[in-house]
Amino acid sequence: MTQFKTGIDRRAVLGGLGALATGAGGAFAAAPALPSAPVAISIIDVGGALALMQQAFDDYRTANPKRASRITYVKAPAPELASKIKAQQDAGRSDLDLVLTGSDGLAAGLEQNLWLKIFPDFAEVFPGIEENYEPAALNLHKAQGAGFGVVVNYYPSGPLLEYMPDRVKQVPTTAEELLAWAKANPNKFMYARPTNSGPGRTFMMGLPYLLGDKDPQDPVGGWDKTWAYLQELGQYIEYYPAGTGATMKEFGDGSRDIIISTTGWDINPRALGIVPKEAKIQTLKGFHWVSDAFFMCVPKGLPNDRLAVVLDIMKHVLQPKMQAYSYDEGYLYPGPAVKNVPLSLAPQRSQEVIAEFGRPEYADLIANNPIELPLKPDRMVVAFRKWDELVGSKQRKG
């Protein structure tokens, strides 16, 4: 996810350390001991999680100066993550200690075998984690994280239509009506390339439910209706931006009248003034949420002193008080992945933003519509490739 947040937007194993960090002989690894001297930690964010959670990481550094001498932050686009990590591992380096990513970067790293397995190998560091997760976050943790990605923030996501009521007089309520509207209003509908957009991939993965496709979890054999629909819809889309931010800006300046959104992408850009407060949302007939999350992943090959601190940091940010930061300005609404994190625990600014820009209908939509898992990481990679081949490569210019 691109973020708007102001002031924030070889199986490499090093000698004997690797036996501890990856588990020797197939046995679970013992969690390494915390270091006797503080270490510097580097965190890379490719999805926007720092917009929600940087304060929680900073709080760790403040509270634990004998463990972390400093924490530095790096940002990069999600499509660049896997190649960046692999290049470092192939060179025998471990420059990045913790990765914050959406399901896109998680999937790309799993495909290239870049991540250290955290569960069950280091489960002792995270007592009661499964009991503490919100049910939908736990499902994502198990099915998507698969032991390699630890859910840090969660939201039901979308897909939602976001529209300007003064410019859209007859709001589409079905997928067929959306197609007809786009045909009648060429270049006024937009979504971003799924491989680097939460709303884009949520739309792609939500369509099989809306269209009654054969198998919503099989983008190769079960999405015939979805691929045909997206190809036809693409005839009326001017171009597919590389990230969600561009869709919000063009929606806000009046270039587009309907875009694909999610709960967080609905609330946050309105709170920041990028999208008019008056914008409305609409679901389509047959709507299923396709949930999404931010994950924490650890690249293979970390020396044990830094690995120990990274695991401790991960445990720290899953505490309810730290999770309350994730309400933020609605960026990943609601945001907390664990139980017992009411809005009242969040900073006052977060409470004010949600009160003003949140939508009362979200509680009902979340409670009364199915919440589906996204595609498994390997299938998500395939879906991204098929979209690029069948849809993105056919886009019109101008």
| pLDDT digit string, tens, across residues 79-125 | 889 999 999 899 988 899 999 998 889 988 998 999 999 999 999 99
| pLDDT digit string, tens, across residues 119-174 | 999 999 999 999 999 999 999 999 999 999 999 999 999 999 999 999 999 999 99
Backbone angles phi, psi at 68, to 5 degrees: -120, 115
pLDDT band at 78 (very low <50, low <70, confident <90, very high): confident
Per-residue confidence (pLDDT) for residue 29, from 0 to 100: 67
Per-residue confidence (pLDDT) for residue 8, from 0 to 100: 33
Whether the pTM exceeds 0.85: the reply is: no
| Closest C-alpha to 98, from 137, 59, 57 | 57
Question: Is residue 4's pLDDT more than 60?
Answer: no
Q: With the C-alpha atoms ordered 179, 185, 186, 187, is the resulting torsion angle positive or negative?
A: negative
| pLDDT digit string, tens, across residues 279-299 | 999 999 999 999 999 999 999
Question: Is residue 10's pLDDT more than 50?
Answer: no
Q: Tell me the C-alpha distance between 164 and 278, whole Å.
A: 7
CA angle (344 as vertex; 329, 150 as ends), nearest 5: 65
Per-residue confidence (pLDDT) for residue 196, from 0 to 100: 86
**Percent share of the chain, pLDDT over 90:** 82
Regarding predicted confidence, which is higher, 143 or 226? 226
Per-residue confidence (pLDDT) for residue 28, from 0 to 100: 60
**Percent share of the chain, pLDDT over 70:** 92
